[in-house]
Every structure is written in C-alpha cells, then in structure tokens.
Structure 1
C-alpha cells in the first residue's frame, strides 16, 4: 500500500510517517517505481506507536515498546515499561498540584494586594512572594 493509504489506515498523517521513519521509529519500506510500498505490518506498527503516544509515552519509550513487541518479549517487559511510566505520571501530577497551589496563592495575593496597580507591581510577577513547595 502507498503512504497515503497507510496514513489513513493507521490514523496518522503522511508527514508523521515520514518523521517516524527519519528518527528510526518506523523502518522505511522498499520502494517500487520510486514510491514507498507498505505492508499490513506497518499499519500495526503505526497503530501501536499512535497508542503509545496517546498514553504519553516518550518517543524513546515508544521505540523500546515497539522493539519488545517485534521481538515478542514477555508481557512482563511491557508491564515494566507501564509501571515506570505510571511512576513518572504520578510524579508529574504531584508537581502540578504543587504548582496549582502556588498559582492559587498568587492569584489570591493579587486579588488582595494589587487591585488598581500596574502589572510590574503585581504580586504574581514578584519573585519570592510565595513558597513554591
């Protein structure tokens, strides 16, 4: 199949396929008459890549997962990737909660101290006004 058909089948754009090929995430196929000709395995690989990206795995993590699938490694390897990713997500959530608390405090401080002043005097823009966690 040609690249446009592959893109439609996998739910990605043609530039995305070319990008994945350029970074080695997807192996460029053989060419026929100057055009790339893809197989059904490429649809599966792209669908897996897209799924991993939807789950917010990095490109490097996605590359590792794709390799484990292609080498038919045990599911426990995939579980390990997922557990590590889950720890990373939980850490980011904690960091975002701390940031949320900081921003809420800054907004509250602005409401009580900045009414009518100019932006350069705003408490939100003053370093060290709030303990950031």
Structure 2
C-alpha cells in the first residue's frame, strides 16, 4: 500500500508517517520504482503508534512500547511499569495545571476589569504581590 493508503488506514498524516520512517519506527519496503510499499503490519504499527502518541507517550516511550509489543517473550510487568510511570507524570501535570488554574481564577476574580489602569493580573506577572492588594 502506498503512503496515502496507509495514511487512511492508520489515521496518521503522511508527514508523520515519513517522520516515523526517518527515525526508524517503521521500515516499509521499497518498490522497484523507489516508492514506499507499506504492508498491513506497517499500517498496524502506525495505528499503534498513533494511539500511543494520543495517550501522550513520548517517541522514545513509543519505541519501547512497540518493541515490547513485538516481543512475544515480554513480561507484561514491563509494559505496566512504563504505563504507570507515564500515568504518574500525567497526574503530576494535572496537579500543576490545577494550581495554575487556581492562581489564574484568583487573579481574574481580583481584577476589576473596568476602565481603571490598576490590574492585579499585570501586577502579579510583573512580580508584585497582587494577591495582597
């Protein structure tokens, strides 16, 4: 299958597929004309990579996951450990985002949003203690 067909089959843009080929995540065969010739297995790998990336796994984590997927002697504990580490990072990021949200909510609440020039949001961004004003 050509790159357009594998793009439709995997749900990934051709540019992403070319990138994954460049970094060695997929290695399609080449026809006599030099064009890529993707197999069903390549399409499956690309869909796997797309799903992994949509869950926020890094390229290197995707490389590891793909390697584990292809290794029939793998231990599921290895896969679980990788996913658990990723989940911990997501939970940490959520905590950070919730703290940002709380700070911004406070600043937005304290800002009068009128014609006056004083603004607790700008004061905070400038390093002034806007929250005690």
Class of the TM-score when normalised by the shorter of the 2 chains: 0.7 to 0.9
Query: 1: distance between equivalents of 2:82 and 2:130?
Result: 37
Query: 2: distance between equivalents of 1:49 and 1:108?
Result: 42
TM-score w.r.t. structure 1 length? Answer: 0.85
CA contact (8 A) 2:120 2:130 kept: no
Partner residue in 1 for 2:7? 7
Partner residue in 2 for 1:124? 121
Query: 1: distance between equivalents of 2:20 and 2:48?
Result: 12
Deviations 1:61-86 (A, max 9, x none): 11111111122322221111110011
Partner residue in 1 for 2:60? 60
Query: 2: distance between equivalents of 1:51 and 1:28?
Result: 19
Quick one: structure 1 residues 130 and 41, their matched pair in 2 at CA, closer, same or farther if it must change by over 3 Å?
farther
Query: 2: distance between equivalents of 1:106 and 1:31?
Result: 60
4+ residue runs over 4 A deviation: none
CA contact (8 A) 2:107 2:120 kept: yes
- Deviation at 1:2? 1.3
CA-based RMSD of the aligned residues comes to 1.7
TM-score w.r.t. structure 2 length? Answer: 0.85
3-state secondary structure, aligned to 1:33: coil
Query: 2: distance between equivalents of 1:79 and 1:52?
Result: 14
Query: 1: distance between equivalents of 2:63 and 2:128?
Result: 41
Deviations 1:73-100 (A, max 9, x none): 2222111111001100100010011101
More divergent stretch after superposition (99-108 vs 70-79) = 70-79
Q: 2:87 matched to 1:86?
A: yes
- Deviation at 1:23? 2.3
| Structure 2 spans left out of the alignment, 5+ residues | none
- Deviation at 1:109? 1.3
